[in-house]
């Protein structure tokens, strides 16, 4: 998609500035922050930095020309800078995002395959769980994450084994991405003692303290101050660990979000705040609950870095998280990542999801994170469809086994009702 760069207001007197020369030619790739153009104000000659990473498509002012603040000076074609969520509601907007190809950096083949396998595992796990509920095999409710596999896998793959995550409901994908086994998750959903929370947590509270995942905090935004506190502990313990805190767009209106990110910013805590912006809080569209739908903008007002990322592009999410984690470890945290994605299933088990416009759904389904990654792997990494099919078969087999085991998993003894309240 195209974005325009406007002349920032650099002249203290409000007068126009003179464009001296372009430092980059049309057709060249520029990075955000790279000096783009030299200008002369009444005080000095200085340069203006690019606001975007992408292809410089067109310059609108020639050397020697006078420019006013706010005047368009250049046009970029960008893949990584996305419009605010509200701009993506229409079918055409989503389709144009879909046309932006994923770009594969030079990763090792094994790593690419591991990303893909983890995403397939989440998709197949969630689909199987959906049918287990339809069968009536499972109790309780579920909040599923089909279509959001790239956010969980992209973020968790960029973390170290001893880093932590906090999650919220819709956390099955986070758990699988962090390394919890499908068996311990399924057992938990079946309420078994062999579940990751011994059957005391259930779908909304999956986690494993030995795998670096706090049980899911199912109160919207409740995990945000908590993650800041975990990061405070890391800082006080002189540890290099970071915590990635997952939450949804709905959490941004909660006081806990603002209180938590303010303290994290104030104390430069190593937290990556990961907002999975899937456009819906329960049944309510984001445009009904916030005026500024670009969630990453919240970071700047609290004095830290925010970034909006294509959340259906696992590579983009991985790269953004890798940089965020490096910033956090260097003492330059926190970072707010807004990952743009879409909730393609109902909010919870009994929600038929009738409120999503058909055109919006179609547009977003065409941007399926798994299909996009598969296409990218075939076209750019010479990975064959047969290899990808093998992965899916392996995952299917693993889940088949886990389901069979979970159906036989031991339920808690009723005498154990009181265990684990205090320790």
Partner 1 sequence: MKRLGIAEALREAIMEEMERDAHVFCIGEDIAVPGGWGGAFTVTLGLEKKFPDRMIDVPIAELGFFGVAVGAALMGMRPIVDVQYGDFLFLASDQIINNAAKLRYMSGGTAKVPLVMRAPIGATGRGAQHAQSMERFFTGVPGLKVVAPSNAYDAKGMLKAAVRDDNPVLIFEHKLLYGSRGARAEPGATDATSDIPEHDYTVPLDKAAVRREGSHVTILAWLLMLHHALAAAHTLATEGIQAEVLDVRSLAPLDYETIGASVRKTGRVVIVEEGPKTGGVSAELAAGIMERFSESLVAPVTRVASPDIPVPFSPILENTYRPDVPRILAAARQLTLPCAGLERSPLR
Interface with partner 1 by CB under 8 A: which residues? 164, 195-201, 205, 207-210, 214-215, 217, 219, 222, 224-234, 236-237, 255-256, 258-260, 262-263, 266, 419-423
Q: What are phi and psi of 400, to 5 degrees?
A: -55, -50
**Least distance between partner 1 and beta carbon 380 (Å):** 40
CA 219/CA 260 separation, integer angstroms: 14
The residue with tokens 């999956």 is 206
Cβ at position 168, least distance to partner 1 in Å: 12
Q: What are the angstrom distances between the C-alpha of 26 and each of 32, 34, 59, 69, 377?
A: 15, 14, 7, 22, 30
Question: What 8-state DSSP symbol labels residue 421?
Answer: S
Q: Which residue, 224 or 325, is less far from partner 1 as judged by CB?
A: 224
CB of 207 to partner 1, least distance (A): 6
Q: Count Cα atoms within 13 angstroms, Cβ side, for 362.
A: 6
**CB nearer to partner 1: pick between 82 and 243:** 243
How, if at all, do strands 72-77 and 243-248 pair?
unpaired
- Report the residue number, 88 or 143, with the smaller CB distance to partner 1: 143
Nearer to partner 1, 147 or 199 (CB): 199
Rounded to a whole number of angstroms, the minimum distance from the CB of residue 286 to partner 1 is: 23
Shorter beta-carbon distance to partner 1: residue 119 or 299:
299
C-beta closer to partner 1: residue 217 or 317: 217
* CB closer to partner 1, 107 vs 267: 267
Q: In what order do the strands lie in the sheet with 271-277?
A: 164-166, 243-248, 271-277, 335-340, 305-310
Helix (H, G, I), strand (E, B) or coil at 294: coil
**C-beta of 267: minimal distance to partner 1 in Å?**
8
CA distance readout (Å), 275 to 251, 299, 308: 8, 12, 9
The residue (of 112 and 213) whose beta carbon lies closer to partner 1 is 213
Cβ contacts of 391 within 8 Å, gap of 6 or more: 113, 116, 117, 120
Min dist CB 275 to partner 1, Å, is: 17
Q: What gap in Å lies between CA 38 and CA 35, rounded to an integer? A: 8
State which residue, 314 or 335, has the beta carbon closest to partner 1: 335
Question: Which of the 8 DSSP states describes residue 195?
Answer: S
Judged by beta carbon, residue 144 or residue 194, the one nearer partner 1 is 194
- Cα(24)–Cα(329) distance, integer angstroms: 33
Q: Which of 314, 317, 245 is nearest to 274 (CA)?
A: 245
Least distance to partner 1, CB of residue 213, Å: 10
Instruction: Indicate the residue among 309 and 336 with the shorter CB distance to partner 1.
Output: 336
Minimum gap (Å) between residue 202 Cβ and partner 1: 8
Please state the closest distance from residue 294 (CB atom) to partner 1, in A. 23
Token pair for residue 1?
């998609």
Phi, psi of 412 (to 5 degrees): -65, 145
Question: What residues contact residue 345 under an 8 Å CB cut-off, 6+ apart?
Answer: 130, 144, 146, 147, 353
Give least dist CB 387 to partner 1, A. Answer: 38
Tokens describing residue 149: 């596999």
Helix H or strand E segment including 40: strand 35-40
Minimum gap (Å) between residue 65 Cβ and partner 1 = 48
Q: At what angle do helices 109-135 and 182-189 cross, to 10 degrees?
A: 20
Phi, psi of 208 (to 5 degrees): -155, 115
């Amino acid at each position: 998609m195209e974005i325009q760069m406007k002349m920032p207001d650099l002249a203290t007197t409000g007068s126009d500035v003179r464009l001296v020369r372009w430092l980059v030619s049309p057709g060249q790739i520029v990075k955000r922050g790279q000096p783009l153009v030299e200008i002369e104000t009444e005080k000095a000659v200085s340069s203006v930095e690019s606001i975007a990473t992408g292809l410089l498509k067109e310059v609108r002012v020639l050397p020697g020309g006078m420019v006013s603040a706010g005047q368009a000076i250049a046009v970029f074609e960008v893949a990584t800078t996305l419009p605010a969520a509200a701009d993506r509601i229409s079918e055409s907007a989503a389709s144009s995002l879909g046309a932006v190809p994923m770009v594969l950096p030079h990763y090792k083949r094994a790593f690419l395959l591991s990303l893909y396998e983890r995403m397939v595992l989440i998709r197949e796990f969630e689909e199987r769980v959906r049918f287990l509920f339809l069968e009536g095999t499972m109790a309780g409710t579920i909040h599923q994450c089909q279509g959001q596999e790239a956010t969980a896998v992209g973020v968790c793959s960029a973390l170290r084994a001893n880093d932590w995550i906090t999650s919220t409901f819709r956390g099955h994908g986070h758990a699988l991405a962090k390394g919890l086994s499908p068996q311990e998750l399924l057992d938990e959903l079946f309420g078994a003692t062999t579940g990751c929370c011994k059957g005391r947590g259930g779908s909304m509270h999956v986690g494993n303290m030995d795998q670096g995942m706090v049980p899911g905090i199912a109160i919207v935004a409740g995990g945000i101050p908590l993650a800041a506190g975990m990061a405070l502990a890391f800082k006080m313990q002189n540890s290099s660990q970071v915590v990635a805190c997952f939450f949804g767009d709905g959490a941004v209106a909660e006081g806990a979000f603002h209180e938590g990110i303010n303290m994290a910013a104030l104390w430069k805590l190593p937290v990556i705040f990961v907002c999975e912006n899937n456009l819906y809080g329960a049944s309510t569209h984001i445009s009904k609950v916030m005026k500024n739908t670009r969630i990453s903008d919240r970071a700047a007002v609290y004095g830290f870095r925010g970034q909006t990322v294509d959340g259906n592009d696992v590579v983009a999410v991985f790269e953004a998280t890798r940089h965020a984690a490096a910033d956090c470890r260097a003492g330059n945290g926190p970072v707010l990542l807004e990952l743009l994605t879409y909730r393609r299933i109902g909010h919870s088990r009994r929600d038929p999801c009738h409120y999503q416009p058909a055109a919006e759904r179609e547009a977003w389904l065409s941007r399926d994170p798994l299909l996009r990654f598969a296409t990218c792997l075939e076209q750019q990494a010479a990975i064959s469809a047969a290899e990808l099919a093998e992965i899916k078969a392996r995952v299917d087999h693993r889940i088949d086994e886990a389901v069979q085991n979970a159906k036989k998993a031991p339920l808690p003894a009723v005498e154990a009702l009181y265990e684990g309240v205090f320790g």
